[in-house]
């Protein structure tokens, strides 16, 4: 529960109320000894919980961790059209922006306490996509340009670059394909690790491969070591990334839907808890600094698995586009209050074990949170 919602909690009683309650109890002394209340008198002390959370601050202390601004990473869609600024229909309040629109948009957010962003490139120019995803590490492309621009403009902003090929490949898959359409893992890992290096060289504080090819964490870590920058780049693995329909709005935003087939060969099957645990352990052993689980709210058990398996590293959770869109749809239909639901969903993710949340609600949370 957040401090802001606690403050308005109507169950809080001040000292005056308590005096009154006590005197009522003493007047009704005979009632105290009835069978219904005897448990509280005759010794079962552990049954008495209410007192422990009788004050707003005491309620806040029940949470193992409080949601703070520094836990949040905000996703940005960067267009290769410098002046573009267009709303994404399936992602309420989210826009695709070109380089020229970035700083004016981010300046007030940074002033409100925005600490980190994750960048996704969106190539719109005709012919920008090919079978190798060549545009992913184009030195004049949107992501590399945005990394340099943001590093210069906001020295304290932590910049994460999502690393994948699906936004840049003509077929929309997250790697390089064989002639039969299946994923060529070796070529994909080669290419993905080159792209990660290009983003790290451009100044990204963190590279986050979301492609799910086997062995890419090790390949990226080795290249970071070889080029002497492993000590200054965080490697965040999308380790447990489940397939499903919750990425729909994102693919709309990034124009990254596969042109044939789906992502089931590389993203995890929704029931695959064992596979997720193996992927988490593998990526830790391959050199990941942070483990990510996604989607978040549907996989709280996997978040807590990640915390257990990787108890010495931070766990991140991605509250994905579909989760965000569902909360907006529910609020719009009057099913629940947007702010209340955003807090409940995000605090549930923290309770499961994450200390980093990638969320499209970040701008709202900057207004709602005090620290
Ligand atoms: C690209 C990528 C995706 C997301 C993050 N990186 C889409 C996908 O894998 O299809 C999903 C983010 C979201 O839905 O908000 N590989
Ligand atoms: Zn991808």
Write down the residue that tokens 């709602």 correspond to: 368
User: 229 with 200: CB under 8 angstroms?
Assistant: yes
Find the ligand nearest to 243 CA: 1
Residue 365: is it exposed, middle or buried by C-beta count within 10 angstroms (0-12/13-18/19+)?
Answer: buried
Tell me if 302 sits within 8 A of 317, measured CB to CB: no
Residues near 149 by beta carbon (within 8 Å), at least 6 away in sequence:
99, 102, 103
Tens of each residue's pLDDT in the chain, 371 residues? 444 444 444 444 444 555 555 555 555 554 455 555 555 556 678 888 999 999 999 998 999 899 999 999 999 999 999 999 999 999 999 999 999 999 999 999 999 999 999 999 999 999 999 999 999 999 999 999 999 999 999 999 999 999 999 999 999 999 999 999 999 999 999 999 999 999 999 999 999 999 999 999 999 999 999 999 999 999 999 999 999 999 999 998 898 999 999 988 999 999 999 999 999 999 999 999 999 999 999 999 999 999 999 999 999 999 999 999 999 999 999 999 999 999 999 999 999 999 999 999 999 999 999 99
Ligand 1 atom 11, closest CA: 247
Catalytic residue chosen out of the listed positions 115, 129, 221, 294: 294
The atom number, within ligand 1, closest to the CA of 256 reads 10
- Supply the pLDDT for residue 9: 47
- The class of domain 69-368 in CATH terms is alpha beta
What is the chain's percent helix, strand, coil content, to nearest 5? 45, 15, 40
90, 164, 297, best to mutate for ligand 1 pocket (most atoms within 8 Å of CB): 164
Ligand 1, residues 91, 210, 319: which to mutate, most atoms within 8 A of Cβ? 210
How many angstroms separate the alpha carbon of residue 115 from the centre of ligand 2?
Answer: 25
pLDDT reported for residue 7:
43
Judge whether 266 and 174 are in contact, CB under 8 Å: yes
Alpha helices in the chain (DSSP H): 3-7, 15-27, 29-32, 38-41, 56-60, 99-111, 142-153, 185-202, 216-226, 248-254, 273-285, 300-309, 321-332, 338-352, 362-368
How remote is the CA of residue 283 from the centroid of ligand 2, in Å?
17
Q: Is 112 a catalytic residue?
A: no
Return d(Cα 77, Cα 47) in angstroms, integer: 51
Among the atoms of ligand 1, which is closest to the Cα of residue 249? 14
Are 71 and 369 a contacting pair, CB within 8 Å? no
Instruction: Report the distance separating Cα 330 and Cα 45, nearest Å.
Output: 42
Please report, for the chain, the start and end positions of each structural domain, with discontinuous segments joined by +.
Answer: 69-368
* 263 annotated ligand-binding residue: yes
Q: Which residues line ligand 1 (CB under 6 A)?
A: 162, 164, 166, 174, 210-211, 247, 250-251, 320-321
The reply, when asked if residue 360 is annotated as ligand binding, is: yes
| Dist. CA 250 → ligand 1 center (Å) | 6
| 294 is known as an active-site residue | yes
């Amino acid at each position: 529960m957040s401090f802001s919602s606690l403050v308005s909690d109507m169950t809080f009683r001040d000292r005056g109320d308590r005096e009154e309650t006590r005197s009522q109890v003493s007047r009704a002394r005979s009632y105290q000894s009835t069978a219904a209340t005897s448990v509280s008198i005759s010794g079962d002390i552990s049954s008495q919980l209410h007192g422990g959370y009788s004050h707003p601050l005491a309620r806040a202390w029940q949470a193992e961790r409080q949601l703070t601004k520094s836990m949040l990473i905000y996703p940005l869609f960067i267009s290769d059209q410098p002046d573009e600024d267009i709303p994404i229909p399936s992602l309420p309040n989210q826009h695709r922006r070109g380089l020229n629109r970035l700083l004016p948009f981010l300046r007030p957010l940074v002033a409100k306490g925005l600490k980190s962003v994750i960048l996704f490139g969106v190539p719109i120019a005709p012919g920008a996509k090919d079978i190798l995803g060549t545009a992913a590490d184009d030195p004049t492309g949107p992501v590399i340009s945005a990394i340099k621009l943001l590093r210069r403009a906001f020295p304290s902003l932590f910049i994460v670059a999502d690393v994948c090929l699906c936004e840049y490949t003509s077929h929309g898959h997250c790697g390089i394909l064989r002639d039969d359409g299946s994923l060529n893992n070796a070529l994909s890992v080669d290419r993905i690790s080159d792209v990660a290096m290009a983003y790290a060289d451009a100044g990204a504080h963190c590279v986050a491969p979301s492609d799910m090819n086997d062995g890419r964490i090790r390949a990226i870590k080795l290249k970071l070591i070889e080029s002497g920058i492993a000590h200054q780049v965080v490697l965040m693995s999308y380790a447990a990334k489940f397939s499903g329909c919750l990425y729909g709005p994102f693919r709309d935003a990034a124009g990254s839907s596969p042109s044939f087939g789906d992502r089931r060969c590389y993203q995890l099957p929704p029931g695959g808890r064992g596979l997720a645990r193996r992927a988490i352990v593998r990526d830790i052993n391959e050199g990941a600094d942070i483990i990510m689980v996604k989607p978040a709210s549907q996989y709280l058990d996997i978040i807590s698995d990640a915390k257990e398996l990787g108890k010495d590293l931070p766990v991140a959770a991605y509250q994905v586009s579909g989760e965000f869109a569902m909360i907006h749809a529910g609020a719009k239909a009057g099913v629940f209050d947007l702010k209340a639901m955003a807090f409940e969903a995000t605090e549930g993710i923290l309770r499961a074990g994450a200390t980093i949340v990638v969320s499209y609600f970040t701008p709202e949370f900057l207004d709602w949170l005090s620290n």
